[in-house]
Structure 1
């Protein structure tokens, strides 16, 4: 699943640097999350870091980009490979 930032965002600038996939950037008026880069921190952390640090709780799951854990791991591996980083084969077993 990808996450999304709602219009309750106060542009506090804390989420962008926490994203290990560089999925968060400043949009036209608030921060936005690029669904093709968001793995909900799978492969990096146990919990989405942006959600953990957001002071106004404005980062829910994006209803148009629902993915299962295997898909998130596949996206993580793709992003790591594109960045030329070592790809972990460690993934939780279903």
Structure 2
């Protein structure tokens, strides 16, 4: 089990700072999955990824809202080499 992380909760609350975390797998497991994906031994064919310019953010997230049968969606903003922001989201159906 990882060690407890000392967090200055009073400062976070007064500065309106949120901490959001997720632990689906260990770092070692994540590194194993990255190596498997790079080697082509991890089947990623069931994952869908979409990229949109930031101006199309509302249209971009609409397909994710239509998935009501489980699974998960991941949405992120990317800073492109051109300096523009891009919205990307991925969908993984229930396994």
Tell me the TM-score normalised to structure 1 length.
0.21
The structure with the largest strand share of the pair is 2
TM-score normalized with structure 2 length: 0.20
The higher radius of gyration belongs to: 2
Q: Which structure exhibits the higher relative contact order, with contacts defined as CA atoms closer than 8 Å and separated by 6 or more residues?
A: 1
Higher helix content, 1 or 2: 2
